[in-house]
């Protein structure tokens, strides 16, 4: 904590003022006027692949001493300079005192201080939920909003440059007489490009789909880091190496630059292939900078049908106010909503089409096939989410584990089997009934209607199962972070 020079109480960073502020005597101070309480210590640690010089040798990085809190339930770690006991965990939602210890972590180089206050955050969260028609009403409980925590998330910020003459290939195809001709060109262009601030989250506990949903951050607004900005706030620790996202960042930059290069080539006689331009651009990564970006973070605990605990995350960009959340669908609300929508649709369709019973039976069978296809697609998505392989950062850590890939495959099979077991009968009954009607062609309409009603009920069961699995995708299993130990945790922060 930072003592107020006037009264000795705790000085905190105040979002509305963008200054350090004392709640007791109203003293206001510039964050840079405060000297860091822990003098940074330079260390040489080859485990930091992020900090290498031009020759690929490990460069010294600065570290800082922080209070780190560990959740006894999930092993999640969070840094806090908050001067109070932590009574709940933001990752798994457990209400339990967290264990505190001092440790040193890599000191970030830049920070975007929080711009959005908790009131802004509450407003954005409400706006988001108002748009979600079928959201369970518990989520809208204002009590939840108090659970939002201001957390600085670690990000890798990449800079790319290339100033050179690049060469790529172009061609011109034409037809003359009985022959096809292709002229090949070698094109050389001078480029001078500079991309700054391409960023990716550097924490495996902050999942990619959430960080993407609240992106972008305006990295240009970042300020030189000083620990005063963290006073009264939390922070997540960096545990994903910068190399994990570097390729993706490079690809985005190349893609954009290639478009510009190609625009300039448009009036030429030849055509240029984008891939060839992208390969030629091949920019240099100047550096990857560790940054702290502001996120309002909330977790909400729920239980699934089998009584297993799940967690829902809501996040809000602390710079722009962009909000994203895991929002499941309330099945009862959804069914009632669909019914209300189905009645006018049915009336409208009836005005234009005559529903013949045979067509209805075929439609029911077709719906059943569509449901099965959609369920099948969910199997691998669910497996990926449950196993964390949809997060590049987390899977870069998991992939070090040999058994992980095997486990992911097993899990996919298991999900597919569970879908099949739950739906096989509802899938086959409409198909069999439809086939019987086509083959026998009974005279009385009565048979058709009974078949259609039975098929319709089967389709409803499948649709409900799709929604149930959608809800599984909209929530997360309780996280289990591996405790430190073993060779892989050679990072200074030991957050693997």
Give the whole-angstrom CA distance, residue 167 versus residue 157: 28
User: Is-contact 80 70, C-beta < 8 A?
Assistant: no
Assess 151 for contact with Zn ion (CB under 5 A).
Answer: no
User: Looking at the DSSP assignment, which residues form a beta bridge with residue 41?
Assistant: 63
Range 8-37, binding Zn ion (CB under 5 A): 9, 22, 24-25, 27
Question: Least distance to Zn ion from the beta carbon of 104, Å?
Answer: 22
Give the whole-angstrom CA distance, residue 432 versus residue 470: 27
Assess 7 for contact with Zn ion (CB under 5 A).
Answer: yes
Assess 311 for contact with Zn ion (CB under 5 A).
Answer: no
User: Is-contact 102 140, C-beta < 8 A?
Assistant: no
- Give the binding range for Zn ion (CB under 5 A) out of 85-93, 305-313, 361-369, 402-410: 85-93
Question: Least distance to Zn ion from the beta carbon of 25, Å?
Answer: 3
Question: Least distance to Zn ion from the beta carbon of 139, Å?
Answer: 20
Exposure b/e, 136-152, CB count within 10 A at least 16 = b: beebeeeebbeebbbbb
Question: Least distance to Zn ion from the beta carbon of 146, Å?
Answer: 18
Assess 83 for contact with Zn ion (CB under 5 A).
Answer: no
* 30: Cβ contacts below 8 Å, ≥ 6 apart: 19, 20
Assess 4 for contact with Zn ion (CB under 5 A).
Answer: yes
User: Is-contact 357 452, C-beta < 8 A?
Assistant: yes
Give the whole-angstrom CA distance, residue 2 versus residue 232: 10
CA distances 48 to 53, 244, 489, 492, 494, Å, are 12, 13, 11, 8, 12
Question: Least distance to Zn ion from the beta carbon of 483, Å?
Answer: 12
Q: What is the per-residue DSSP string for 422-456?
A: HHHHHHHHHHHHHHHHHHH--SSHHHHHHHHHHHH
Q: Is the peptide bond before 495 cis (omega within 30 degrees of 0)?
A: no
Question: Least distance to Zn ion from the beta carbon of 95, Å?
Answer: 10
CA distances 293 to 98, 185, 316, 370, Å, are 24, 46, 11, 43
- Whose Cβ is closer to Zn ion: residue 223's or residue 483's? 483
Assess 85 for contact with Zn ion (CB under 5 A).
Answer: no
Give the whole-angstrom CA distance, residue 483 versus residue 496: 6
- Give the binding range for Zn ion (CB under 5 A) out of 66-74, 112-120, 357-365, 415-423: 66-74
Assess 74 for contact with Zn ion (CB under 5 A).
Answer: yes
Range 86-115, binding Zn ion (CB under 5 A): 89, 91-92, 94
Give the whole-angstrom CA distance, residue 452 versus residue 173: 57
- Whose Cβ is closer to Zn ion: residue 74's or residue 166's? 74
Give the whole-angstrom CA distance, residue 140 versus residue 312: 13
- Whose Cβ is closer to Zn ion: residue 455's or residue 495's? 495
Among residues 50, 76, 113, 242, which is the contact residue for Zn ion, using CB under 5 A? 76
- # chain residues binding Zn ion, by CB under 5 A: 16
Question: Least distance to Zn ion from the beta carbon of 99, Å?
Answer: 11
Among residues 6, 146, 406, 418, which is the contact residue for Zn ion, using CB under 5 A? 6
Give the whole-angstrom CA distance, residue 55 versus residue 460: 63
User: Looking at the DSSP assignment, which residues form a beta bridge with residue 14?
Assistant: 19
- Whose Cβ is closer to Zn ion: residue 27's or residue 215's? 27
- Whose Cβ is closer to Zn ion: residue 83's or residue 286's? 83
- Whose Cβ is closer to Zn ion: residue 25's or residue 44's? 25
Among residues 73, 226, 285, 320, which is the contact residue for Zn ion, using CB under 5 A? 73
- Whose Cβ is closer to Zn ion: residue 89's or residue 235's? 89
Question: Least distance to Zn ion from the beta carbon of 89, Å?
Answer: 3
Assess 71 for contact with Zn ion (CB under 5 A).
Answer: yes
- Whose Cβ is closer to Zn ion: residue 112's or residue 228's? 228
- Give the binding range for Zn ion (CB under 5 A) out of 2-10, 131-139, 186-194, 426-434: 2-10
CA distances 154 to 44, 265, 319, 382, Å, are 21, 40, 14, 27
Q: Taking the CA atoms of the chain, what radius of gyration do you get in angstroms?
A: 29
Assess 312 for contact with Zn ion (CB under 5 A).
Answer: no
- Whose Cβ is closer to Zn ion: residue 91's or residue 234's? 91
Say whether 12 sits in a helix, a strand or coil: strand
User: Is-contact 460 373, C-beta < 8 A?
Assistant: no
Question: Least distance to Zn ion from the beta carbon of 111, Å?
Answer: 24
Residues of this chain that interact with Zn ion (CB under 5 A) are 4, 6-7, 9, 22, 24-25, 27, 71, 73-74, 76, 89, 91-92, 94
């Amino acid at each position: 904590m930072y003592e107020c020079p006037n009264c000795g109480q705790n000085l905190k960073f105040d979002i509305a003022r963008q200054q350090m502020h004392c709640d007791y005597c109203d003293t206001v101070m510039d964050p840079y006027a405060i000297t860091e309480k822990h003098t940074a210590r330079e260390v040489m640690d080859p485990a930091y692949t992020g900090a290498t010089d031009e020759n690929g040798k490990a460069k010294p990085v600065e570290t800082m001493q922080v209070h780190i809190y560990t959740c006894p339930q999930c092993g999640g770690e969070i840094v806090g300079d908050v001067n109070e006991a932590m009574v709940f965990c933001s990752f798994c939602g457990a209400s339990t005192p967290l264990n505190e210890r001092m440790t040193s972590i890599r000191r970030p180089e830049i920070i975007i201080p929080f711009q959005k206050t908790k009131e802004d955050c509450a407003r954005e969260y409400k706006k988001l939920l108002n748009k979600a028609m079928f959201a369970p009403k518990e989520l809208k409980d204002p009590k939840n909003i108090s659970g939002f925590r201001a957390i600085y998330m670690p990000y890798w910020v990449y800079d790319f440059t290339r100033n050179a003459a690049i060469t790529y290939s172009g061609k011109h195809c034409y037809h003359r007489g009985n022959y096809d001709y292709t002229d090949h060109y070698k094109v050389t262009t001078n480029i001078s490009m500079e991309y700054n601030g391409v960023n990716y989250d550097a924490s495996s506990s902050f999942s990619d789909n959430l960080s993407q949903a609240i992106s972008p951050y305006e990295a240009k607004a970042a300020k030189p880091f000083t620990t005063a900005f963290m006073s009264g706030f939390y922070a997540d620790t960096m545990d994903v190496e910068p190399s994990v996202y570097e390729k993706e960042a490079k690809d985005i930059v190349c893609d954009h630059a290639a478009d510009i290069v190609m625009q300039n080539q448009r009036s030429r006689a030849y055509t240029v292939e984008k891939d060839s331009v992208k390969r030629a651009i091949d920019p240099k990564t100047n550096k990857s900078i560790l940054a702290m970006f502001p996120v309002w973070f909330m977790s909400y605990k729920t239980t699934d049908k089998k009584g297993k605990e799940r967690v829902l995350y809501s996040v809000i960009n602390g710079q722009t106010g962009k909000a994203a959340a895991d929002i499941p669908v309330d099945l009862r609300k959804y069914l009632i909503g669909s019914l209300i929508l189905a009645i006018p649709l049915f009336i409208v369709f009836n005005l234009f089409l005559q529903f013949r019973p045979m067509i209805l039976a075929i439609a029911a069978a077709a719906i059943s096939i569509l449901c099965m296809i959609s369920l099948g697609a969910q199997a691998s998505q669910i497996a990926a989410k449950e196993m964390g392989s949809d997060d590049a950062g987390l899977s870069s850590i998991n992939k070090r584990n040999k058994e992980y890939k095997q486990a992911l495959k097993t899990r996919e099979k298991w999900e597919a089997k569970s879908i099949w077991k739950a739906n096989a009968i509802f899938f086959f009954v409409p198909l069999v009934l439809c086939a019987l009607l086509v083959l026998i062609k009974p005279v009385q309409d009565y048979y058709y209607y009974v078949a259609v009603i039975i098929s319709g009920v089967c389709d409803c069961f499948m649709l409900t199962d799709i929604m149930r699995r959608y809800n599984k995708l909209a929530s997360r299993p309780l996280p289990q972070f591996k405790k430190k130990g073993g060779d892989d945790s050679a990072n200074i922060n030991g957050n693997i």
